[in-house]
Amino acid sequence: MPTRVLIVDDSGFFRRRVKEILEEDPMITVIGDAANGQEAIDKSAELKPDVITMDIEMPVLDGIKATKKIMEVNPTPIVMFSSLTTEGAKATLEALEAGALDFLPKRFEDISQDRDEAKKLLCQRVRAIAQQKHSLKKIAPKVKVDKTEPVKSKPTTVTAATNKAPVRIGKSGGVDLVAIGTSTGGPLALQTVLVDLPANFSKPIIIVQHMPATFTPAFAKRLDQLCKITVKEAVDGDKLQPGVALLAPGGKQMLIEGRAGSATVKIIDSEPSLTYKPSVDITFRSVNKVFPAKTLAIVLTGMGADGREGARSLKTQGSEIWAQDEESSVVYGMPAAVVDAGLADNILSLDDVSKAIIKRI
């Protein structure tokens, strides 16, 4: 059956444009539109769409408040359209915390310089999140942490994942670095994982999240406010330190250089031909040169297969690879690529990842 979409935007021109693009895909049907957040709430209850595309700034009721209400009364996968500005980044992150599953730039040329490719990606994202109603569940609480106070580690019992593959926590061998890669659904997934790590976490963490350049500073700041560990956007020359998570800056590539114990970050411009900026594969491959057999690499929810080849490189040298399970993923693309390639040592539900990391470290 075609994916049924409700389009929400105060611009009639934009609504028509999105409708034309989506309906070029025979597997998508636009069943209605709305000009403000209140109309979105009413029509989502009436029409029961599979997916809602939502603008943020609208009269009567904005997209963030509308998203919160829809997730309360009629949970529906929502894609936010966002401006690629600092204020747009903050608002988009608030929308994701309110329950939206994904976001896309409102200017389609920011999705891809190739117009046909931009249309294709929009349709792919809409179809992908339509399958994710099971992911519409509780959102991690927004709790600011006083980092001056000592924080005790929580119990580290691990619940087995519900996937077909067994969970094998407790592989022997040391871990000197935790490396995480993610994309669609990643902002909330990372928050879920990182908020439970203790302030005295003994290893450095690096994170690659597919995200525009204007979004990563705000995202790193928000995570830092919520977490006991320190989270910051990586800059060239940053040293890897215990209890510090470095987020790859959007639009660039993040490499790890040096040697274990004194490793540093190198930020470089990305080749224009590369799809992902930053790329999990590129970062993971660089990690393998510095921390062979000493890395815990975790691939979380995301569309595509970025991370698979980087994980393969790490695996050949003896590092440990974990993947998020299908049930808890917003989009089971990136972790599925790792699992299907036979690279995953463990397959975990998102709610179990932080506990498993603490136990493993």
Any idea which residues carry the catalytic annotation? Answer: 183, 210, 306
Burial class (CB in 10 A: 0-12, 13-18, 19+), 267: middle
Cβ–Cβ under 8 Å, residues 191 and 140: yes
Residue of 54, 82, 81 whose CA lies nearest to 68: 54
As a three-state string, the secondary structure of the chain is CCEEEEEECCCHHHHHHHHHHHCCCCCEEEEEEECCHHHHHHHHHHHCCCEEEEECCCCCCCHHHHHHHHHHHCCCCEEEEECCCHHHHHHHHHHHHHCCCEEEECCHHHHCCCHHHHHHHHHHHHHHHHCCHHHCCCCCCCCCCCCCCCCCCCCCCCCCCCCCCCCCCCCCCCCCEEEEEECCCHHHHHHHHHCCCCCCCCCCEEEEECCCCCCHHHHHHHHHHHCCCEEEECCCCCECCCCEEEECCCCEEEEEECCCCCCEEEEEECCCCCCCCCCHHHHHHHHHHHCCCCEEEEECCECCCCCHHHHHHHHHCCCEEEEECCCCCCCECHHHHHHHCCCCCEEECHHHHHHHHHHHC
Cβ–Cβ under 8 Å, residues 128 and 303: yes
